[in-house]
């Protein structure tokens, strides 16, 4: 089977890239691990950041750079923010309707986050764009290899309903998202496990800033599922407080912006307060129940299902792993340097936009902007691969103890590679990972290779920066 383009993943980055490729009459196959909606894009709550007008562009750029501790690539942030003006028009012309009014989230200096379906922005966007999608779709298919020779990618190997196959394409676009499943507590869809970042390690493709992992401060973790319930930052943007068991708004001890400081600061403050023995809650009692139900319908219903009497009862919260700022290094058109026809878009990519800490609701924007740029580059280059047949690697995909080791990895990453880090803990995680890799089936191995990159990068960055906090930095 050969297509013009093969896209790995079915999130918003994948769908938006496919839209432009299909508009240009290119045959495009989307391969996805589970069901098409089983991705982080579908669960995005808060919204999409879109600069309000030309005057807001420099302010949005400043907010993004400040949240990212100025570790961002400024020229790429400029591309992002300027393109957001056009994106607003494009989405409207495509027929998508945001809710009336815009909201504010932490570290934004003004209201510029556009949302839909109340707190279901990702679901609404994903459903809307997928309905119009003209790609071929292969679901329940896990990519476990990229078929490469020198600087050319010829296709991918997949595992589908108990069998292995190769699929070929003139361009391979990686849109496989982040790494949530590597952490014990995370907000991500269950399909998000860093497989392709592991493949990048194996193939000698450069990853960058892998130590920059974002923890969301307000997550309800007392659920039965591995995916924990995010409580969108828009709640704090619209007035919710963070309190401890005495009712005190302790965040001001850590930053004068209190609830509206950037995510790294709020997460760390909660974590450190918890370490002192306190319990932490999100207080939403200032909202009228009818308003809350309409503005945040998903959160309202899910918390009711867990017997929390919203908005009257404080909601117990903890930080949890949320977003990967680092990833596969790409150029400004999302092409992977050194490769003719290999691209990475969305959360899996490192564009340099987010720096050391992502500004809230900038990631959907990044998905849209750089997916479109990738499609334009692919169409312009019109690269064709020679017809070539590859054999499928014989390595066992699964081994009996994989699940056990994956759970141990989640514990290790949470304990030693989490919100607060030091050399001793990082080295403990590294030796666990290295000792375990030889015991694993291929798919589990890929996620361990990704974890190893995160740990190594965290060991190498000796000082704190943004989301990467080293408590031993002066030791």
User: Which residues would be at the binding site for ligand FAD (CB under 6 A)?
Assistant: 8-14, 31-34, 38-41, 43-48, 121-122, 142-143, 175-177, 187-188, 191-192, 195-196, 230, 323, 346-348, 361-364, 367
For every residue of 151-175, DSSP letters joined together read TEEEEEEEEETTEEEEEEEEEEEE-
Taking the complex as a whole, the smallest distance from the CB of residue 263 to ligand FAD amounts, in Å, to 11
Report the residue number, 39 or 315, with the smaller CB distance to ligand FAD.
39
Please state, in angstroms and rounded to a whole number, the distance separating the CA atoms of residues 288 and 440: 51
> What gap in Å lies between CA 4 and CA 14, rounded to an integer?
15
CB of 459 to ligand FAD, least distance (A): 26
Contacts of 55 (CB under 8 A, 6+ apart): none
Q: What is the 3-state secondary structure (H, E, C) of 357-405?
A: CCCCCHHHHHHHHHHHHHHHHHHHHCCCCCCCCCCCCCCCCCCCCHHHH
Report d(CA 430, CA 421) in Å as an integer. Answer: 13
Q: How many CB atoms lie within 10 A of CB 406?
A: 18
Answer whether 303's CB lies under 8 Å from 168's CB: no
CB of 74 to ligand FAD, least distance (A): 20
Catalytic residue among 112, 123, 236, 263: 263
Q: Which two tokens stand for residue 222?
A: 């007392």
Q: What CA–CA distance (Å, rounded) separates 453 from 16?
A: 29
φ, ψ at 251 (rounded to 5°): -60, -30
**Element at 207 (helix H, strand E):** strand 207-208
The token pair at 101 is 């009014």
- Nearest CA to 303 out of 223, 241, 373, 398 is that of 223
- For residue 132, the minimal CB distance to ligand FAD (Å) is 16
Report d(CA 9, CA 367) in Å as an integer. 12
322/470 with CB nearer ligand FAD: 322
Q: How far is the CB of 366 from ligand FAD (least distance, A)?
A: 8
CB 454 within 8 A of CB 60: no
C-alpha gyration radius of the chain: 21
Burial class (CB in 10 A: 0-12, 13-18, 19+), 401: middle
CB–CB of 267/67 below 8 Å? no
3-state secondary structure of 445: helix
How many H helices and E strands in the chain? 14, 19
Residues with Cβ within 8 Å of 25's Cβ and at least 6 positions away in sequence, in order, are none
As beta bridge partners, residue 276 has: none
263: annotated active-site residue: yes
| Residue with smaller CB distance to ligand FAD, 331 or 473 | 331
Report the C-alpha gap between 177 and 175 in whole angstroms: 6
Annotated catalytic sites, by residue? 263
């Amino acid at each position: 089977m050969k297509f013009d383009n093969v896209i790995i993943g079915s999130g918003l980055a994948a769908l938006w890239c496919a839209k432009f490729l299909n508009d240009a009459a290119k045959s495009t196959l989307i391969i996805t691990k589970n069901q098409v909606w089983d991705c982080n894009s579908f669960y995005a709550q808060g919204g999409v950041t879109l600069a309000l007008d030309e005057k807001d562009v420099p302010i949005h750029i400043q907010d993004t750079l400040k949240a990212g501790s100025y570790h961002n690539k400024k020229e790429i942030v400029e591309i992002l923010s300027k393109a957001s003006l056009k994106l607003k028009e494009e989405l409207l012309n495509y027929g998508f309707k945001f809710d009336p009014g815009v909201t504010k989230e932490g570290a934004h200096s003004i209201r510029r986050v556009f949302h839909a379906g109340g707190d279901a922005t990702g679901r609404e966007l994903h459903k809307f764009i997928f309905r119009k999608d003209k790609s071929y779709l292969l679901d329940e298919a896990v990519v476990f290899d990229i078929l490469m020779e020198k600087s050319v990618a010829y296709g991918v190997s997949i595992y589908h309903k108990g069998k292995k196959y190769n699929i070929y394409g003139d361009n391979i676009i990686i849109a496989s998202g982040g790494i949530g499943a590597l952490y014990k507590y995370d907000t991500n869809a269950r399909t998000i496990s860093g497989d392709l970042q592991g493949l990048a390690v194996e193939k000698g493709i450069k990853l960058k800033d892998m130590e920059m992992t974002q923890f969301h401060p307000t997550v309800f973790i007392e659920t039965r599922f591995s995916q924990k319930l995010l409580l969108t930052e828009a709640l704090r943007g619209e007035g919710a407080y963070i309190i401890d068991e005495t009712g005190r708004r302790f965040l001001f001890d850590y930053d004068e912006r209190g609830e509206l400081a950037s995510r790294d600061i709020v997460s760390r403050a909660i974590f450190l307060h918890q370490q002192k023995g306190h319990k932490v809650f999100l207080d939403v009692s200032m909202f009228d129940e009818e308003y809350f139900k309409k503005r945040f319908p998903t959160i309202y219903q899910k918390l009711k299902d867990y017997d929390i009497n919203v908005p009257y009862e404080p909601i117990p919260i903890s930080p949890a792993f949320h977003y990967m700022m680092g990833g596969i290094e790409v150029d400004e058109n999302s092409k992977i340097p050194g490769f003719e026809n290999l691209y990475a878009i969305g959360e899996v990519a490192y564009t340099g936009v987010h720096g050391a800490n992502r500004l809230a609701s900038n990631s959907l924007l990044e998905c849209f902007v750089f997916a479109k740029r990738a499609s334009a580059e692919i169409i312009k280059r019109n690269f064709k691969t020679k017809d070539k047949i590859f054999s499928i690697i014989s390595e066992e995909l699964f081994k009996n103890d994989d699940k056990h080791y994956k759970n141990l990895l989640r514990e290790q990453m949470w304990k030693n590679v989490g919100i607060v880090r030091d050399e001793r803990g990082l080295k403990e995680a590294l030796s666990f990972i290295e000792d375990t890799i030889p015991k694993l089936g291929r798919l589990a191995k890929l996620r361990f290779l990704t974890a190893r990159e995160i740990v190594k990068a965290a060991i190498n960055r000796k000082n704190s920066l943004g989301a990467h906090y080293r408590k031993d930095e002066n030791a």
